[in-house]
Structure 1
Amino acid sequence: MRRSPLGSAVVNVPRNITAPVTGAVGRFFSGAGLLLRGLGLCLRSPRLMLLGIVPALLSGALFVGAFATLVYFVDDLAALVTPFADDWSTTARGLVRVVAGLAFLGVGGLLGVLAFTAVTLVIGDPFYEKISERVEERYGGTPGAVEVPFWSSLRRSVVDSLRLVAISALVGIPLFAAGFIPVVGQTVVPVIGAAVGGWLLALELTGAPFSRRGLRLPDRRARLKVDRPTTLGFGVAVFVCFLIPLGAVLVMPAAVAGAALLTRRSLGQSVEEG
């Protein structure tokens, strides 16, 4: 075991445990499968599902309203950022503003998903902590667990979430600009956005199980990088589900449960029921 620059412990795990040799594509789908396993755990325990849906409903209503407002004003925003097209022909002007509108909606979706997750995790911190703990108990408990006071845990969660949302905003700027590139902006950029969003979602959702082990954001980033395809598979699956209407509300408990499994796998701990 070694210490991170921030003083928290980082567990050294043999690479063959965290990243089995199944190929990057296989590990990607294995990561997506963790979300399905989380969903299965929640469906077998309806109380877990109810614990997670209540805070998701509260923040979901807020962000649905915010995104609906963006959709309502997207034409005005598109015109605002494309004044150079005012004198173009009707067809050319309309086309460039449709592209601009899609870019706004794409970046808004990326930021909305990450901000929704951050706010929901803060609102429902006690609920999601309980879901995560119950999942880990089912698979053998939490080795090296440390006692973290509620307010300290909440403060750390808020700080980490704000940091990740800020990163997503910085990434969103070049993605918005790239959205104006014909073809690339409508094909490659959404894929990059989903990958970035998936990675950041995985970092957000694994905060509680890593924190129970006394590990901070730099520690979980380092551990999840060891098997990046699995992490991306889980995160992208969550990201896509969160883009579906009501998907974020219904999938949130499963995402928390799956994140507990992802954490265990990244640390070389059992993800099989004994």
Structure 2
Amino acid sequence: MGDLATGMRYLGQGQKWVLRNGRWFGFGLLPALVTLVLYAAALAALALWAGDLVVWATPFADDWDSPWPGLLRGALTALLFAGGLLLAVLTFTAVTLLVGDPFYESLSEKVEESVGGVAEGPDIPLLRSLWISLRDSLYVLTRALVLAVPLFALGFVPVLGQTVVPVLGLAVSGFFLTLELTSVAMQRRAIPVRERLRMLRGRKALALGFGGPLVLSFLVPLAAVFLMPGAVAGAALLVRDLADGDSPTDGGDDGGAGGHGGASGAGGGGPRPEGHPG
């Protein structure tokens, strides 16, 4: 329970940090708003044309007696849209981080500066950094889908789908959401995605304490947009604990350095790598 509470504390500290530093909250809000508009347009298009797509994909049902073609196509249309929603939930954070890579890199660095210094990392050009982020996000998404798709199917099983499956789904989503959000600070430390996965597996309760409440809050319309800046800030604090062995208790009010010791093992007090945007 200790790690679970610690993960929740980092999430709360991240939200408090961006609220104290309003300029950075607005700065981190832009990528999430852009991603929201893109996803809303994609889901609206799916809702509009899902029925036509299902009819095109099931020509064999044209000769069936009524009402079977309608029942089949209605069920497939609902499944198609539900699958689109599941994919949107699983990928929203990854796409937002990719769209806002320069924004969130700067935000993450500022948070670390406020609690003792930014970890040193390799000098990586912007395009190379974006490619690494995309590659790592696809790796994480593939791993998440391996677990999410069977859970999605089991959700239609009576009793099991309304009790055990939602809890497992929350745990899986929370874990992988934490993995995505910590990628900003982890990549700055040149920690490969497979190593990040191993580190979080060793601290599952910490990951669930951070990501679980976020998953639940994302069920509220627009909550994901407004919580993203604080989630990135909190993830930066979590990484200092997970990767550096540092345990900051709070961020500075003004975004300046001070309050805590530098990150150990990663050059915590070093300068920001010049290859990163921001």
Q: TM-score, normalized by length of structure 2?
A: 0.75
- What are the ranges of 5 or more consecutive residues in structure 1 without an aligned counterpart? 1-22
Match 2:25 to one of 33, 44, 49: 49
Partner-residue secondary structure (3-state), 2:163: helix
- Partners of 2:148 and 2:172 within 8 A in 1: no
Bigger fraction of residues in helix: 1
Provide the rounded CA distance (Å) in 2 between the counterparts of 1:243 and 1:105: 16
Matched residue, 1:250: 226
Task: Name the CA shift for 1:59/1:143 in 2 (closer, same or farther; >3 Å).
Answer: closer
> CA shift at 1:144, angstroms?
4.3
Q: What aligned pairs does 1:4-19 form with structure 2 within 5 A after superposition?
A: none
Matched residue, 1:151: 127
> Are positions 1:141 and 2:98 aligned together?
no
Percent of residue pairs identical? 42
Matched residue, 2:186: 210
CA RMSD of aligned residues (A): 3.0
> CA shift at 1:168, angstroms?
2.5
Q: What aligned pairs does 1:15-26 form with structure 2 within 5 A after superposition?
A: 23=1, 26=2
Code of the residue aligned with 1:54 in structure 2: it is L
Partner-residue secondary structure (3-state), 1:181: coil
Task: Name the CA shift for 1:78/1:231 in 2 (closer, same or farther; >3 Å).
Answer: farther
> CA shift at 1:109, angstroms?
4.0
Task: Name the CA shift for 1:120/1:272 in 2 (closer, same or farther; >3 Å).
Answer: same
Provide the rounded CA distance (Å) in 1 between the counterparts of 2:158 and 2:41: 30
Match 1:269 to one of 246, 249, 252: 246
- What are the ranges of 5 or more consecutive residues in structure 2 without an aligned counterpart? 251-258, 260-278
Code of the residue aligned with 2:121 in structure 1: it is A
Provide the rounded CA distance (Å) in 2 between the counterparts of 1:97 and 1:154: 39
Matched residue, 1:64: 40
Code of the residue aligned with 2:179 in structure 1: it is L
The farther-off stretch of 179-188 and 104-113 is 104-113
Indicate the structure (1 or 2) with the bigger Cα radius of gyration: 2
> CA shift at 1:187, angstroms?
2.2
Task: Name the CA shift for 1:176/1:225 in 2 (closer, same or farther; >3 Å).
Answer: closer
- Partners of 1:28 and 1:234 within 8 A in 2: yes
Provide the rounded CA distance (Å) in 2 between the counterparts of 1:183 and 1:104: 23
Q: What aligned pairs does 1:1-274 form with structure 2 within 5 A after superposition?
A: 23=1, 26-68=2-44, 101=78, 107-267=83-243, 268-273=245-250, 274=259
